[in-house]
Structure 1
Amino acid sequence: MGDTGTPVLLTSAQRTGTAVLLAEAAERRGMDVRVLTGPHTLDGLDERTVHWYGGPFTARRITDRTGLALLEPPDDWLARLPEEFTGRRIEASTLSKAWELRRPAFVKPPGDKSFPAAVYADGTRLPRTGKRVGPDTPVLISEVVTFAVEYRLFLLDRRIAAGSRYAVHGRLDVAPLHRDRYERHVRRFVRRLLETTGDLLPSAVTVDIGLVRDPESGRGRWAVVEANMPWFSHCYAAPPDAVLDVVLRAAGPRERVLPSDRRFLRPAAHSPLRAPRAP
């Protein structure tokens, strides 16, 4: 795919608030914004520079036709972190192993949304059938902790490009990171995290962190909540223009992928979205 023509931001048909904000930011830059409503939307994009914001399942089906390269954190990244950064025990496993749980645990698919991420009373409460789940579905099994406050951070080249608070005591409570009461603590924790483990993440990524309160002492410690793909993350109160910088790096032309990012590429699906054949 070449670089001729105006760059394109392609978004899914699900018009979330973030998709609208990023589309507006892209238009301010002179980009061509298109909503993927079917195979015909991809017509004429063969020689265009295409970027993506939307879900992973659709994204995987359009990579061949658009030349997209999608960066994502490794499924086991959170489980590989030292406990000083997680504040809890985390295991990378499979859904079949999670079915055997006989205790409460927080269980989630590491990258996609194949089933709800939640605290499950035991393994019997987890899904066993479905279009996108099966015994070998990767999961993260985490010790249950309570976050007093949580932040979403869009990272680019090992620095915070944009950030937002998104929850307080588990409830949606959105505010900009800039001038937040914990901004200095957030930046200091993320700096230490990236200095220690930054090479385990792609150059453009979303990381959520939070403050865990000890119920007995009342003391708090900062911990990583999870890492995600910027091209499938809500921006909350983060500045859309800065978020767009991260999205464009994380989901763009294959030939522009940095050598250090190639190991973080999401594999393409075997069933690409194709244009219908003429009768």
Structure 2
Amino acid sequence: MAAPITALALSPQQTSTSELLADAARARSLRVLAADQAPAGARAAYYGGPLFGAKVAAALGVGLLVPPDDFLQSLPPDLLGRRVQAMTAAEARHLSRPFFAKPPTDKSFDAGVFTDGTRLPRLPPHTVVQVSEVVTFAEEHRLFLLDGLVHTASRYARFGGLDVAPATAAAATFGARVAHQVTDLLPSAVVMDIGLISDPDTGTEHWAVVEANMAWFAHSYAADPDRVLDVVIAAAGPRDAVRHADLPFLDPPFPDA
């Protein structure tokens, strides 16, 4: 059995979430370290940005779990609630209709609604872009998933604007159902955002999955910081403790993953 972690390693960019996680870590008697100054042999979990994480992962000996780029496209229509497809930036530039576009998992450009493909930012032609039809999310919630269950959650937006509050009962119910259904599609520790799509023409509403994100690079909003830390430790803890089922989600992967 792998030894427990002894430290939380943070990237230089301080956020309200990293401060909350640092307090939660200290309450567990864990050391809080700068990720690039952690001593050799420290058994640490990492929280911070993906670019910095890629630089320090090997030295820290952490395994970073990342949701697959095609997660949304792999969902059944009743969970997705809208049309989503992946295409290259070159292909997206030929779109003549309004669409929502984002990078699949990284932050290479700011997600948003574009009136047509010519409005996309300059990107290498073969860059993968996730394109979906434009919908209105009346509210959006963040779920921190651990072993197929919602470990903690928070509302973070209403009608596209930041609006932080505890997760609603309806969000918790839908989240629990989806978490069970996507167990084989995501790492065992991950963040999944869900939202309530509102049709302005008919007034109908239905829940849908918004996206999946790395737990070690996600704002906690109103979620319980101590339970968020549980998920972060599982998603970016010592590489030798990564479960066999999570090997396909490692970035960078094990050579034989």
Q: TM-score, normalised by structure 2?
A: 0.93
Kept in 2, the 8 Å contact 1:94–1:138? The answer is: yes
Partner of 1:176: 166
2:249 paired with 1:264: yes
Match of 1:214 among 199, 202, 227: 199
Please give the secondary structure, in 2, of the residue aligned with 1:234.
coil
Match of 1:125 among 119, 123, 131: 119
Kept in 2, the 8 Å contact 1:146–1:213? The answer is: yes
Partner of 2:154: 164
Deviation at 1:72, TM superposition (A): 1.0
Kept in 1, the 8 Å contact 2:65–2:249? The answer is: yes
Deviation at 1:3, TM superposition (A): 4.6
Partner of 1:54: 48
State how 1:1-279 maps to structure 2 within 5 Å. Answer: 3=3, 7-36=6-35, 39=36, 41-42=37-38, 44=39, 46-129=40-123, 134-177=124-167, 180=168, 183=169, 185-267=170-252
What is the alpha-carbon root mean square deviation over aligned residues? 1.6
Amino acid corresponding to residue 169 of structure 1 in structure 2: F
Please give the secondary structure, in 1, of the residue aligned with 2:171.
helix
State how far apart, in whole Å, the 1-side matches of 2:14 and 2:208 are: 31
Amino acid corresponding to residue 128 of structure 1 in structure 2: R
Matched residues, number: 252
State how far apart, in whole Å, the 1-side matches of 2:181 and 2:16 are: 34
State how far apart, in whole Å, the 1-side matches of 2:165 and 2:80 are: 23
Kept in 1, the 8 Å contact 2:146–2:190? The answer is: yes
The answer for unaligned runs of 5 or more in structure 1 is 269-279
Moved more, 188-197 or 140-149: 188-197
Q: TM-score, normalised by structure 1?
A: 0.86
State how far apart, in whole Å, the 2-side matches of 1:11 and 1:95 are: 33
Kept in 2, the 8 Å contact 1:75–1:138? The answer is: no
State how far apart, in whole Å, the 1-side matches of 2:46 and 2:114 are: 33
Amino acid corresponding to residue 190 of structure 2 in structure 1: V
Deviation at 1:198, TM superposition (A): 1.9
Kept in 2, the 8 Å contact 1:3–1:47? The answer is: no
Kept in 2, the 8 Å contact 1:210–1:225? The answer is: yes
State how far apart, in whole Å, the 2-side matches of 1:112 and 1:65 are: 22
Please give the secondary structure, in 1, of the residue aligned with 2:182.
helix
Amino acid corresponding to residue 172 of structure 2 in structure 1: R
Amino acid corresponding to residue 117 of structure 2 in structure 1: G
Identity over aligned pairs, percent = 50
State how far apart, in whole Å, the 1-side matches of 2:186 and 2:111 are: 21
Deviation at 1:217, TM superposition (A): 2.2
State how far apart, in whole Å, the 2-side matches of 1:187 and 1:208 are: 12
State how far apart, in whole Å, the 1-side matches of 2:114 and 2:6 are: 44
Amino acid corresponding to residue 23 of structure 1 in structure 2: A
1:100-155 CA-partner distances (Å, limit 9, x unpaired): 221111110111111001111111111224xxxx2222221111100001100100
State how far apart, in whole Å, the 1-side matches of 2:149 and 2:89 are: 34
